[in-house]
Amino acid sequence: MKPAFVIVSLLISAVGVCRGPVAASPASDTPPNIVIILADDMGFSDLGCYGGEIETPHLDSLAHHGLRFTQFYNTARCWPTRSSLLSGYYAQQIHRDALPGVRGGAGGVRQSWAKLLPDYLSPAGYRSYHSGKWHIDGKVLNAGFDRSLDVRNQGNYFTSNGNLIDDVPVKAPADEEGYYTTVATADHAIDCLQDHAANHADKPFFHYVAFIAPHFPLHVLPEDITKYRDSYLDGWGEMRKSRFARQKKLGITATTLAPIEPDLGPPYAFPDAMEKLGPDEVNRPLPWNELSESQQRFQATKMAIHAAMIDRMDHEIGRIIDQLKVMNAFDNTLILFASDNGASAEIMVRNGGHDPNAAPGSAATYLCLGPGFSSACNTPHRRHKTWVHEGGVSTPMIAHWPRGISSANELRHTPAHVIDVLPTVLEIAGIETPKRPDGAEIPNLPGKSLLPAFAVDQTIPRESLWWMHDGHRAVRVGDWKLVGSKGEPWELYDLTSDRAEQNNLASKMPEKVQELERVWQQQTDSFIELAQQTLDDQPKRRRGTARPSKN
């Protein structure tokens, strides 16, 4: 197979940081570098280029000079998305999310053939780096990465305690004043890039940068919250209206705006957390005018911290971009940016607990966004992280590659999914899917290369997209989506005009429901059959859930 970077090149031819900048000039015929940046719990509309009011100039610039996908999907949860992104398989195929009667989930172990992207890229000469969250089974370096910062500490942004460097635990210094995980993640990424420029400039690189932000706890540098402190006092309803208006103007959506579901709270109830957080916390997205002034301030402050965390993440992405430019790698680097799931309605208190007297966003606090502003962050879609309605599984996706994408500031409307990233990268790098060590074929990758959509706005042909998480399930065939929450009957939506999932056609079109249900069940059964082949390799303490209802 002729490397796609050669084909694309033929078509389009008709900051000082850390130790200081290190430059290198790659040869014009080198394969492209790959940088995948993943946010954690960020909503569909949080970026400026997707309708948000948060200042994200660096990501907006990538979008302005690249592409924005309007119907890109994740798996609705952190660890399944990461496994799917780097393996190219649905997480359930490789024991990384639960199936009926099959052990798996967050503690599941991939089959020996379920390699991650670095193992595909290494034979082609790539070096691979990881900075940030892992949340995939096994050690990072064993997955083919040459260097890694594994941010295991996800409960306190202000200490490195519990993290790993190259799979070795970090010894946190006694005084970590000024430490912040988002900055540290970028520092590590930049250090890897500088080392690459100095010592491996003749090789292409893959860098997986997985920020924790803006995942709870809502922790923020004090100087970052200032610009947003009073920005959200008008409430989540007004925020949604403003974002939706901007989205319509940008052409991001053609749907209606999903109304807030006032009776839908967090996916998991933690009554003790509500007691610790005090009377200003609310676990339902009530009308803003029904909240007390104190409650409004508390909720608006949480959203301000969420916004500041994204603002800071964008700033750190800007530093990484600066390093790519200094080492003359920017033009030949494909940068992909997405979020692992929709914004979260969760409310809980973990780790060190919550001190209600401490400054909001400080290390002594443990705040979560909650269902009100989560609904606003997922504008215009319905529901949140863990659900497989559009609000849970929709993500912004930016693709930027000056040498390989000639279009700029354009939208791509094809439905796509994180399972498509690996086959896209393999085609760009000209890499064939390898066989098992015994010579047998590995299971077919379910995703599709998005390379044709990089050239023009077109729909990538596929049979279906499939979801299952926490008892929630869905399938998309063309523009039809069948979706059901745990224990609830199927709902049917025509996504050509109703991505807000408001006009349930299930009762009017029972034959279409049955047709899509068969597709979902056939896919589920095939995944179960595949996973059962290696069931004995799974940790015995993990068990699957009961088979979801078919109704």
**CA-wise closest residue to 243 among 339, 55, 380:** 380
**CA-wise closest residue to 290 among 262, 315, 311:** 262
For the domain bounded by 4-13+32-455+463-537, which CATH number is listed? 3.40.720.10
224-227 long-range contacts (CB < 8 A, ≥24 apart) are 224/308, 224/309, 224/311, 224/312, 225/304, 225/305, 225/308, 225/361, 227/55, 227/308, 227/311
What was the pLDDT predicted at 432?
A: 86
What was the pLDDT predicted at 25?
A: 35
Residue 284: Cβ-neighbour burial (10 angstroms; 0-12, 13-18, 19+)? middle
**CA-wise closest residue to 333 among 27, 31, 3:** 31
**Percent of the chain's residues with pLDDT above 70:** 91
Q: What is the mean pLDDT of residues 259-287?
A: 96
Q: What is the mean pLDDT of residues 269-285?
A: 95
What was the pLDDT predicted at 352?
A: 77
Q: What is the mean pLDDT of the chain?
A: 92
pLDDT at 398 over 70: yes
Q: What is the mean pLDDT of residues 426-433?
A: 91
C-alpha dist (Å) from residue 149 to 32, 81, 107, 152, 384: 23, 19, 20, 9, 29
pLDDT (tens digit per residue) in 170-210 = 988 888 889 999 999 999 999 999 999 999 999 999 999 99
Q: Cα separation of 359 and 365, whole Å?
A: 7
pLDDT (tens digit per residue) in 484-542 = 999 999 999 999 999 999 999 999 999 999 999 999 999 999 999 999 999 888 887 54
Q: What is the mean pLDDT of residues 377-384?
A: 98
Q: Cα separation of 307 and 218, whole Å?
A: 10
Whole-number CA gyration radius for the chain: 22
Q: Is the CB of residue 216 less than 8 Å from the CB of residue 366?
A: yes
Q: Where do the structural domains in the chain lie, given as residue ranges?
A: 4-13+32-455+463-537
The residue ranking higher by pLDDT, 434 or 42, is 42
What was the pLDDT predicted at 541?
A: 59
List 467's β-bridge partners, or say none. 474
pLDDT (tens digit per residue) in 288-347 = 999 999 999 999 999 999 999 999 999 999 999 999 999 999 999 999 999 999 999 999
Q: What is the pTM of this model?
A: 0.93
Q: Is the bond into 217 cis (omega within 30 degrees of 0)? A: yes
Identify the band that residue 437 occupies on the pLDDT scale cut at 50, 70 and 90: low
Q: What is the mean pLDDT of residues 12-39?
A: 58
What was the pLDDT predicted at 24?
A: 38
Identify the band that residue 429 occupies on the pLDDT scale cut at 50, 70 and 90: very high
pLDDT at 6 over 50: no
Identify the band that residue 14 occupies on the pLDDT scale cut at 50, 70 and 90: very low
What was the pLDDT predicted at 9?
A: 42
pLDDT at 152 over 70: yes
Q: Cα separation of 452 and 71, whole Å?
A: 16
What was the pLDDT predicted at 148?
A: 98
The residue ranking higher by pLDDT, 423 or 2, is 423
Q: Is the CB of residue 205 less than 8 Å from the CB of residue 129?
A: yes
Q: Is the CB of residue 512 less than 8 Å from the CB of residue 505?
A: yes
Q: What is the mean pLDDT of residues 102-124?
A: 90
Q: Is the CB of residue 434 less than 8 Å from the CB of residue 120?
A: yes
What was the pLDDT predicted at 235?
A: 98
What was the pLDDT predicted at 239?
A: 98
The residue ranking higher by pLDDT, 253 or 545, is 253
pLDDT at 11 over 60: no
The residue ranking higher by pLDDT, 5 or 33, is 33
pLDDT at 545 over 90: no
pLDDT at 29 over 80: no
What was the pLDDT predicted at 4?
A: 58
